[in-house]
Amino acid sequence: MTPEDAVRHVVGTNPTFAVHEVVVRGVTLKAFKNIPPTVPGLLAAGWAQHGDGTLEYLAYEDEALTYADFTRAVYRMAHAMRDELGVRQGDRVAIAMRNYPELLTLLLAISSIGGVVVFVNAWWTTEELDYALRDSEAKIVFADGPRMERLEPLQAELGLTLVGVRDAEGRGAHDFTTLQQAARSEVAPDVAIDTDDDFAVMYSSGTTGHPKGVVQTHRGAVNAVFSWLMQSFVAPLVTPPDPGAPEPLRPSVLVVTPLFHVTATHPLFLLSLPAGAKITLMRKWDAEQAVRLIRDNYITRFLGVPTQSAELMQAARRMGERLPTLDYLGSGGAKRPGAQVAQLAEAFPNAGIATGWGMTETNALGIGMIGDDYIARPESAGKLHPPVQELRMLDDAGIDVPPGQIGEITVKSPANMRCYLNKPEATAEVLQDGWLRTGDLGVLDADGYVTILDRKKNIIIRGGENIACLDVEGALHRHPDVLEAAAFPVPDDRLGEVVGAAVQLKTGATLTQADMAAFLQEHIASFKIPAHLWVQHDVLDRGATDKIDRRAIRTACLDNQKVKV
């Protein structure tokens, strides 16, 4: 079948993927009709796919949990949070830690009692944590050791209840382990959660300097999950397996990107529940360790930023490994260099090399492709994932542009965010009659493939991390010798982009890159600190409206027209 025929067949014959029209906040949308209405409903929906709970589900270093173990842990923590911490429906509860198994338990436990998960970037400084916690009004924070240290100065002023996890146990008002032991039940809490209730707040860098809290609903998350799940039913209709081919391995996922980003939470963790997939967490990215984990644990699915795909390939070559169990090698968070696609296909011949484009604002749902399509179009982002999304390419006036012309990628689906938290003007700017104006510019061809060309937003994507130029500039302006600053992306072979900055200094002042980095450590996360610095005493270039001309400044700096330190 063609992909389009296969989608129609699955939607028309498999009740799980039946689609109907719904009205959400006054907007008519296409949505799945028979899927679980909420995120915690995914846990029960996956029971049979995980051997009625008997299969190993979650692995981390030398720890392992069956699906039944994990389910009990989720429900015990849900009851403990309600009974011991007083969490009620609609309360926002923050999670601040590295990729520990407890993070996954907490995500489902919070949502099981109708709470709203606030994902905190584990790299943020105390200053950045302060902003997010004030903005979200989360009063309970589960944190590991490094995050606990940064949160403690905020505890009294913000009235926080800090709960220690792993190396932070004994430092907060409560401990994760003690709460679980105090739980009075390990069955699903009886809470009526509406599909359009808020599920989570995820912070995404924007052009306003401070990150924006993207409010995701249960409907949005589960519709995204089942859009991806449907691909596993469509694929064998498009490319049937060879006669006599062995049964495919059980899906098994290696999580290598932070779980406070949609790339890891949604198409990996949340999808693993109904897909019957095992989850393996890495404590810290290490390419050779990733090769060993994939080889020894029969991992089938890898999704990381392009840098990680490239490093995995290099490590596998050094180690003489072909990783035959890999059937999916995806990229998210940033665009993979086109030249890398064929190299990955040669290095991992059993894997479908894939690319994807999505946003925090779309619950990661968006555009993608895999295999021969991608090899033939390595610069493209792919096609819109069916069947609940709609796509338009718009000019600045909101008018559709024809195929082949540059337009702003604009999507409509139940997976779109509800709003930006506490930012009605920013919400109204991007959400219009259910259509989300993404800020990404691209071209749609006659066959439905989208090629992304540029970003309207002033965002630097460093190894999949979005960095707002204004966020960096705001921190630079705190330096007593800096009069003005402009941040911009600088190409980098490993990370795709890193942060560069040009600054105007006070007369007679000097500033080295090392001094600047040391100063910024207290104000912004380390990944946001400029790797390259250009200094001058003249005013920075300005445009016709007397605003800083970031593009002209960047060009001058990269062309060595200005002094780099």
Q: Which residue ranges make up each domain of the chain?
A: 3-34+217-455, 70-193, 467-558
Q: How do the pLDDT tens digits run along the chain, 565 residues long?
A: 999 999 999 999 999 999 999 999 999 999 999 999 999 999 999 999 999 999 999 999 999 999 999 999 999 999 999 999 999 999 999 999 999 999 999 999 999 999 999 999 999 999 999 999 999 999 999 999 999 999 999 999 999 999 999 999 999 999 999 999 999 999 999 999 999 999 999 998 654 568 899 999 999 999 999 999 999 999 999 999 888 888 899 999 999 999 999 999 999 999 999 999 999 999 999 999 999 999 999 999 999 988 899 899 999 999 999 999 999 999 987 778 788 899 999 999 999 999 999 999 999 999 999 999 999 999 899 999 999 999 999 998 999 999 998 899 999 999 999 999 999 999 999 999 999 999 998 899 999 999 988 777 777 889 888 787 878 988 998 899 998 899 999 999 889 899 999 999 999 999 999 999 999 999 999 999 999 999 999 988 876 555 778 888 999 999 876 667 7
Domain 467-558: CATH class, spelled out: alpha beta
The string of DSSP codes covering 167-217 is: GGTTTSSEEHHHHHHH-S--S-------TTSEEEEEEE--TTSSPEEEEEE
For residues 174 and 178, what is the distance between their CA atoms, to the nearest angstrom? Answer: 7
pLDDT score recorded for residue 483: 87
pLDDT score recorded for residue 484: 86
The amino acid present at 543, given as its one-letter code, is G
pLDDT score recorded for residue 245: 85
Phi, psi of 450, deg, nearest 5: -110, 130
Q: Kindly state the helix (H) or strand (E) to which residue 306 belongs, with its residue range.
A: helix 306-319
Architecture label for domain 70-193: 3-Layer(aba) Sandwich (3.40)
pLDDT score recorded for residue 75: 98
What is each CA distance from 319 to 280, 292, 315, 341, in whole angstroms?
Answer: 21, 9, 6, 20
pTM of the model: 0.87
Whether residue 486 contacts residue 548, with contact meaning beta carbons closer than 8 Å, is answered with yes
> Which superfamily does CATH assign the domain made up of 3-34+217-455 to?
ANL, N-terminal domain (3.40.50.12780)
Query: Hey, CA dihedral for 80, 84, 90, 92, is it positive or negative?
Result: negative
Whether residue 129 contacts residue 151, with contact meaning beta carbons closer than 8 Å, is answered with yes
pLDDT score recorded for residue 207: 47
HSE-CB at 123 with a 13 A cutoff on CA atoms is 16
* Cα dihedral 356/360/364/369 (nearest 10): -10
Q: In whole angstroms, what separates CA 290 from the centre of its chain?
A: 20
Q: In whole angstroms, what separates CA 564 from the centre of its chain?
A: 33
* Cα dihedral 39/45/47/51 (nearest 10): -130
64 pairs with which residues across the strands? 59
Please check whether the two domains, 3-34+217-455 and 70-193, share a CATH topology.
Answer: yes
